[in-house]
Amino acid sequence: MPAKKRDYRKEYDNYQGDPEQKKKRASRNAARSKMVKAGKAKKGDGKDVAHKNGNPKDNRASNLTTQSKSKNRSYARTKSAGKKNPKD
């Protein structure tokens, strides 16, 4: 049985296009920009800018760090998308 193709338009309409998700995405992009300006990240470094408390809108310098993509994306998430592991 062939795999079902993803409907990207539907995904955008149902989730990514939501005003709240747009604000979160813009804030994540701003966090990366802030870290690049501070010299803690650079284009093509293969790292993610991670929010320590899991809140993408909290762009305080003390809440931002760089991590490998695999480490940053490996945390189990709660329903509210907060990180379950508060150690990092």
pLDDT classification of 84: cutoffs 50, 70, 90: low
Residue at 43 is within a domain:
yes
Give me the domain span that covers residue 67.
8-54+61-72
- Under 8 Å between Cβ of 35 and 44: no
Closest CA to 75 of 64, 87, 66, 62: 87
Strand-pair partners of 49: 66
Residue at 79 is within a domain:
no
Closest CA to 48 of 26, 70, 81, 77: 70
Question: What is the tens place of the pLDDT at every residue in 28-77?
Answer: 999 999 999 999 999 999 999 999 988 999 999 999 999 999 988 887 76
Q: Report the alpha-carbon distance of residue 47 to residue 80 in Å, rounded.
A: 24
pLDDT at 79 over 70: no
Beta strands in the chain (DSSP E): 47-51, 64-68
pTM of the entire structure?
Answer: 0.74
What's the structural domain count of the chain?
Answer: 1
